[in-house]
Each structure stands twice: as structure tokens, then as C-alpha cells.
Amino acid sequence: MKTVTLIATGGTIASTADSAGGPVNAGLAGERLLDTLHARPEGIAVQVEDFDAVGSYALDLETVHRLCARIDAVLADDAVDGVVVTHGTDTMEESAFLADLLVASDKPVVFTGAQRHAGAPDTDGPRNIADALRCAASGGLRGQGAVILFEGDIHAAREVTKAHTSRVDTFRSNGLGKLGEVDDGQVYLYRRTAARQSVPAPRLDPGVELLLLGLGSTPDYLDYCEASGKTGVVLAAFGRGNAPRGFAERIARLTASGVSVVVASRCAEGRTLPVYGKDSGGRTLEDAGVIFAGSLSPIKARLLLSALLGAGAGDREIRAAFADAERSPPGTAI
């Protein structure tokens, strides 16, 4: 008999409408979620804990840091084989990635949720919970870091993103594909993740801002970051890592004052690389002191930087961590 702890945090999966046509709010406890399962997976004992029951759009870094610490504490019990976290889909990929960075245990950590609320007649929550429990009890997922289980697909936390606002198959791992799937109650793994990156941060630095660049964007917001004492900035930049005119000069001023500036790409696939010169092409940004995020998405680059700064990392350590994230060798396919 395997033992899995289910930690319920709210989200659509735990939400119902207050009235017909009224707003949908989180509030169902973990035991209520278990009661919705059509049939509980055989051979798995489930323990339930209730965490902060809110929509994932209302979470903050401090709360998710506490969640990750709780996951680690639960997994430290030899009797527990894995953890399932029910969570809202809006920021699930971010919480899962932070769990991937912060949780020390190599036992399975599986995030799941729903796109259709618990009061909907065709809610997708019960099936997702059952499949997530099977994944958390699976020895094959040990050492794979945090994953998301949704609509039968298993995705690595580092690679997955929410791709559709409302479809039940919303999660995708662009360019890389899923790790595996659950089919008729069986867990199948098709590949393994790259070597995990661990950042044992005692806190997450909330002073890291994220800026999405568009055609003709101005660097004026960087002045605010400098004046307000922000500790880091992540740019969701063009293509290989390029920015509009004027950004290189402002960035140089930030990095000279000790602010970490990371450049990620707003593209869904590929990695950053300093290729283009002149005003604020990637080479000019490199000369201004930026750190390139490689294939890490902008929102996850922000989280990695926040964890590194929270751990007290300096510029050299931060650069090494982002480089290591790209150089981690792929696992052996199974």
C-alpha cells in the first residue's frame, strides 16, 4: 500500500458558484475533493491537508514558499511516498517550478487542478485528482522533480506552460512534449527531465520585476525599478534576446548599481543567445551586463532569480546558476 498526501490549496478545482450565474470562488476542503472521485485508485492510502484556499491568481511568493516548505516537511516522513497539490491553473506552472527548485526530496510532487469548477456537471477535477494520485504513488516519477498532471498528460515543471484560457487540455510543453501520460489507470513515462536544479532558498526575493517588451517599448519603467530599489529585472525580450532602442544604456546603469537584469525570450520555443549588435541587440545587452536565460521562460526566469537572490547569491553565482540550467545533461529516455 502506497501513501500519498494531498495538499489542497484552492483554485477552480475547489470552487463553486455562489449562485446561478454568480462569481466562482474557492472554498472546498481537500476531503470534499476526494469525495468527488468516481472511484479512488486502488492500493493508495490518501492523507489530506488543507492549505490556503484561494484562487491561484491571489497567491504571492511568500505563500508559495511556505507551501514548498510544507511539501518538503511532508515528504520527510518515510511513510509518505509522494504529494499531490491541488492548485489553480493560472499560476500552477509557477508554483510547480518553485517546488522543483525548493523541495529537497526526490519523491514525486504532482500538481493538478481543473478548468471547470467543482459545481459544473462536466468538471474535470475528479479525474485529474485520481490520475495525480497514481502519479504520486509511482516509483517511476521519483527523481523527476515537480510535475503537472492534467487531462492525462504528465509535464515537467520547468518546461510546462498554460497554453489556453479555458480548455481542459490547457497545459503544454512547447517544443519538448510531455514526460508521459496516465491511460486507464496506468502511469507511462516516455522520457526523463534534465538534471534537477536545486536552490535551497530561505526566502524568495519579492523585488524582481518582469517586463514584457513590445514594438517601440520605452525603457522608462527601468527608471522606476532603479528609483524604487528593485533587486532584479527580467525582460521578456524579442527573439534571441533583443530589445528596443535605449534599453542597453538604461540596463548598464542598473547593472552598475548591482541590480540583476536577466533577458529571456518572449518566444515559446528556443533559447536566448547574444547575436545582434548596435543599439539594444543581444550583444549590446550583453555588454551592458545582462544575464541570458537560455530556454527558460520569462516567468520562470523571474522565479529562479528570486530564489537565487533570496538565497543570498551574488552576480557570479547567479550567472553560474543560469548557465547550469542550460548545460544540465538530458536524462536517459525510457
pLDDT tens for 90-137 read: 999 999 999 999 999 999 999 999 999 888 989 999 999 999 999 999
- Listed by start position, the domains of the chain span 2-189, 208-326
pLDDT tens for 191-217 read: 998 778 999 999 999 999 999 999 999
What pLDDT does residue 76 have? 98
pLDDT for 233 beyond 70: yes
Q: Which amino acid is at 68?
A: C
Q: Is 140 helix (H, G, I), strand (E, B) or coil?
A: helix
Could you tell me if 249 and 226 are in contact, meaning their C-beta atoms sit under 8 angstroms apart? Answer: no
3-state class percentages of the chain: helix first, strand second, coil last, to nearest 5: 30, 20, 50
pLDDT for 332 beyond 60: no
Same fold, 2-189 and 208-326: yes
Q: Please, is 273 exposed, middle or buried when counting C-beta atoms within 10 Å of its C-beta (0-12, 13-18, 19+)?
A: middle
Active site residue 9: no
56 among the known binding-site residues? yes
Q: Please, is 236 exposed, middle or buried when counting C-beta atoms within 10 Å of its C-beta (0-12, 13-18, 19+)?
A: buried
Q: Catalytic: which of 5, 9, 12, 161?
A: 12
Provide the 10 A C-beta neighbour count for residue 307: 27
DSSP letter for each residue of 193-225: PPPP-----SS--S-EEEEE--TT--THHHHHH
Confidence of residue 190 (pLDDT cuts 50, 70, 90): very high
pLDDT for 228 beyond 60: yes
What pLDDT does residue 325 have? 75
What pLDDT does residue 300 have? 98
Confidence of residue 327 (pLDDT cuts 50, 70, 90): low
Please provide the average confidence, as pLDDT, over all residues in the chain.
94
Q: Model's pTM, two decimal places?
A: 0.95
What pLDDT does residue 329 have? 45
Q: Catalytic: which of 89, 161, 193, 272?
A: 89
What angle do helix axes 61-75 and 92-102 make, rounded to 10 degrees? 50
pLDDT tens for 35-67 read: 999 889 999 999 999 999 889 999 999 999 999
Could you tell me if 179 and 82 are in contact, meaning their C-beta atoms sit under 8 angstroms apart? Answer: no
pLDDT tens for 3-34 read: 999 999 999 998 988 777 778 888 789 999 99
Range 2-189 has CATH code 3.40.50.1170: yes
Query: For the chain, give me the number of helices (H) and strands (E)?
Result: 9, 16
Q: Is 103 helix (H, G, I), strand (E, B) or coil?
A: coil
What pLDDT does residue 161 have? 97
pLDDT tens for 273-293 read: 999 998 899 999 999 999 999
Range 208-326 has CATH code 3.40.50.40: yes
Residues in the chain: 334
Q: Which helix (H) or strand (E) holds 188?
A: strand 186-189
Looking at the chain, the whole-number percentage of residues with pLDDT higher than 70 is 97
What pLDDT does residue 259 have? 98
Active site residue 89: yes
pLDDT for 172 beyond 50: yes
89 among the known binding-site residues? yes
pLDDT for 330 beyond 90: no
